[in-house]
Structures are given as C-alpha cells and as structure tokens.
Structure 1
Amino acid sequence: MTPQELLAQDDESYMLADQLAFFRNLLQAERANSQDRITTLRADLAGLEKAPDEVDAALTEQERQTILQSIDREGVSLREIALAIAAVDDGTYGYCADTGEKIGLLRLLSYPRSLITVEAKQHRENRARHLRAA
C-alpha cells in the first residue's frame, strides 16, 4: 500500500489491519535507518584520532561532542519508535494517548512515531512553558 492509497481509504478503515501493517512497516524501516545511523556515527567516533596540538584537539573534541549528541538523538528516536510499535501491537496506535481522539493519517504519515495529536502536543508544550515561568 502506498501513502496515496492509504489516504484514499474511507474513515471506517482507520487503523484496521492493513493500515496498522502499513505503519508497522514504516516504523520498522525508521528503526532500521536509525540503527544504521547509530552504527555509522559510532564508527565515525571511533575514527577520531588524537590531535597533536591544542587547536586540533579542540576541534576534535567539538566533533566528538557533535557525534555524541547525534547518537543521543537517534537513541531518543529508537525509544519513540519502540513505543509506537508497542502501540500498534496493543491496538492503541493512531489514537491520542492524551485524549483518545484520532491522530489522523496525515500526521502519522509525516511523523509515524506520534502518539498524540497536534493539539495535545501544543497543550503539553503550553503547560510545560507555563510551569517553567512559574
């Protein structure tokens, strides 16, 4: 099934077996890509050599920190993907974890790891911002 075919389905098809299979495959492909990126980043990290002078050492350290941050981001992505796959498995995928409303195919196609609606995400961000200001 293609994204266009998915979007052409009627509302009664929302998160039935074929749509869940589509998103499971999409999430599994994202997981594989993320794991590949981590492998590449770790190889890049291992390939960094000791710098002979202070300027080169500072640049190498900056590059090392950038790679480590990228690995951390990929780790977060893998955790989000695992949660989304678990939601597919337990039948809650496609429905907002906060409100129970449909997340919607367009949002899920653009961000398959999403477990909440755009509105719920904005509400969480506003609440967090409000708590920080207090």
Structure 2
Amino acid sequence: MSETLPIGTGVPEDGPFMNDRQKEYFRRKLLAWKNDILREAKETLDALATENANQADAADRASSETDRSIELRARDRQRKLISKIDAALERIEDGTYGYCEETGEPISLKRLDARPIATMTLEAQERHERREKVYRDE
C-alpha cells in the first residue's frame, strides 16, 4: 500500500477496474463500517445492561420492553450485515470483489461506493428481485 486513501474523497476511478487502490479504498470503507456497527452494538449492550428494569409503572415497563425489543431486532439485522461485510472483505482478498456473482461482469464503482456489500450489478439485482416477486406472488 503506497498511499493512504481518505474514504470521504470517493472511489479512485483511474486505472483498471478493481486495481490495488480501489481494493484498498473498499477494504478501508468496509472495515470502517464494520467498526461503526460494532461500536454501536457495544453502546447498546452497555445501555441495556445499565437500564433500570425496576420501573414501578406497568406502562413504563411495557414501553421500555418494546424499546428493548426494537433495539435488539435492529442489532440482529446489524449482526447479519457484519457477516455480509466480512464476506465482501473475503472477496477483496480472493480477487472476486466488484464482480457480479451472477454474470461475472464488473459492478459499477458508483454502486459499490453506495453499497459496498453489493454482489450483483444493478441489472442482475433487478432481475433477481423481479424473479423473487414472481415466486412470492404465486
């Protein structure tokens, strides 16, 4: 790694697709995203551990339990997101990151910048979602 690529500056678009600079950019972006999720999860667990569950009012207890349930569901979604981030990091290492798992075509850098865990081109993703909808509607 010859130079540091600040994440806020956007994907380096010069050079061949998924060159070392682009891989490093996405590696850093994915790791930063994962670290943010892990930090938020720790803060949530700390808050849940210190929260006073001995509330006298039944309505307050019910509201608190609802809030806790919503927060835990959100954390579960983020746990699943971490596994997708880890899979994307593995694809960077094995050289398949940035290529559509369905067609093998490069995924646009703009799409990857917006959704770094994307595994399909926009067109392939749309086809996939249309097929899913057809099967759901049957």
Partner of 2:97: 93
Partner of 1:6: 12
Partner of 2:121: 117
Task: Give the whole-Å Cα distance in 2 for the aligned partners of 1:89 and 1:118.
Answer: 23
More helix by share: 1
Aligned length: 131
Kept after mapping to 1: 8 A contact 2:11/2:22: no
Q: Does 1:33 align with 2:39?
A: no
Q: Runs ≥4 in structure 1, deviation > 6 angstroms? A: none
The CA RMSD over aligned residues, in Å, is 1.5
TM-score (norm 1): 0.89
Kept after mapping to 1: 8 A contact 2:11/2:25: no
Unaligned 5+ runs, structure 1: none
Unaligned 5+ runs, structure 2: none
The amino acid that maps onto 1:6 is P
Match of 1:17 among 20, 28, 34: 20
Task: Give the whole-Å Cα distance in 1 for the aligned partners of 2:18 and 2:78.
Answer: 27
Percent identity, aligned pairs only, is 30
Task: Give the whole-Å Cα distance in 2 for the aligned partners of 1:28 and 1:107.
Answer: 18
CA separation of 1:55/1:4 partners in 2, compared to 1, >3 Å: closer, same or farther? closer
